[in-house]
Amino acid sequence: MKNVQIYFLLILVILGGFILIFYYAQAQVSGTVNISAQVPSPPSPPPAGGGGVYIPPIETKVIIQGKAYPLISVTVLQDGKVATVTNADSQANFKVEISKITPGVWTFGVWAEDKKGVKSITFSFTTNIISGMITTISGIFLPPTIEIDKTLVQRGEILNILGQTAPQSEVSIIVNSPEEIIKKTKAETDGTWFYDFDTTPLEEGSHTSRAKATSLEGLSSTFSQALGFSVGKGMPGAIQKVDINGDGKINLVDFSILLYNWGIPKNPATDFNDDGKVNLTDFSIMLFYWTG
């Protein structure tokens, strides 16, 4: 009888394992971004007794929609190049249509500048555009913009962390330390958010802070860029200077300069992580901050 109980218990453990895996798999794809593809409506039939029928060419189109920040311009990239720029409404919603697109695998990116001119990171996604279909990518929610008022603080001093997101979203601020510290705040009706972070629990040294948001409709953003700051002493731990030629954009020009400096940098500004080499790591850092 005792053996039966043990066997029963073990079977429960196995079942529990499967449930965990199922939950885990769901969590991996539970992003709010969704893709749907539909065949455009057929043309209406010609009137009776009419002449020939004009069948318009089948349209291949992409619709990208989601949330950014209220009343700002949103830039949409197509394979790393600027495809179009649109405006978000007062509720931070935006929508763009890209037509005349060749079927195939495309990477789209979306970024925006908040009302203070602070850029978001590029939210990127790759999809297969199918001929004769309208592909709709919805549920995009750009990560919040983030700023800190200083990069060096004394322990116990207040660090102001601020930025912008969609109106009345819940913003989670994550500060790394041996134990991750998570604080929450709510964005105002214009999407601005602010948090007075008390640095008392932080150890001396380098730290980073980043934020993500959940909109009123329940859309979840990915993380913002990580901003570095130091408590007491040391240098900020995050890389913030990737715009090599200082034109406000990170694009093919910066990529060209990076390639020119590949290996041993002639221009130290191309060695983003200061390891004395310009290599794949610097390339990866550049791609993270890409604006097109």
Partner 1 sequence: MSFNKFLKILITILFCIFLPLISKAAILYLEPDSGEYYQGDTFIVETKVDTEGECINTVEANLSFPQDILTATDFSQGNSILTLWVKSPTIEQESGLISFAGGIPGGYCGKLPGEPGELDLLGKIIFQAKEVSGEQISAELEFLEGSQVLLNDGFGTPAKLTTKGAVFTVLAERLEIPEDEWKKELEKDNTPPELFKIEVHQEPTIFEGKYFIIFSTTDKQTGIDYYQVKEGKRDWKGIVSPYLLEDQSLKSKILVRAVDKAGNERIVEYLPPRKPFPYWIVLVPIGLIIIGWIIKKLKIKR
Does residue 262 belong to the site contacting partner 1 (CB under 8 A)?
yes
Does residue 99 belong to the site contacting partner 1 (CB under 8 A)?
no
Does residue 13 belong to the site contacting partner 1 (CB under 8 A)?
yes
Q: What is the rounded CA–CA span in Å between residue 145 and residue 165?
A: 7
For residues 135 to 154, the per-residue mask of contacts with partner 1, x marking binding by CB under 8 A and - elsewhere, is x-x-----------------
Beta bridge partners of 74: 86, 112
- Binding partner 1 (rule: CB under 8 A), the pick from 216, 273, 274, 276 is 273
- Which of 84, 82, 132, 80 is CA-nearest to residue 106? 80
Does residue 36 belong to the site contacting partner 1 (CB under 8 A)?
yes
Chain mean position to CA 109:
9
| Least distance (Å) between residue 200 CB and partner 1 | 27
| Lookup: tokens for 3 | 């053996």
Does residue 125 belong to the site contacting partner 1 (CB under 8 A)?
yes
| Least distance (Å) between residue 156 CB and partner 1 | 28
Does residue 9 belong to the site contacting partner 1 (CB under 8 A)?
no
| Least distance (Å) between residue 264 CB and partner 1 | 14
Compare residues 109 and 167 and give the one whose CB is closer to partner 1: 109
Q: What is the rounded CA–CA span in Å between residue 236 and residue 230?
A: 5
Q: What is the rounded CA–CA span in Å between residue 181 and residue 176?
A: 6
Does residue 281 belong to the site contacting partner 1 (CB under 8 A)?
yes
Does residue 48 belong to the site contacting partner 1 (CB under 8 A)?
no
- Binding partner 1 (rule: CB under 8 A), the pick from 80, 143, 144, 163 is 80
Chain position carrying tokens 């060209």: 256
Please calculate the CA angle 126-128-132 and round it to the nearest 5 degrees: 140
Please calculate the CA angle 80-238-244 and round it to the nearest 5 degrees: 45
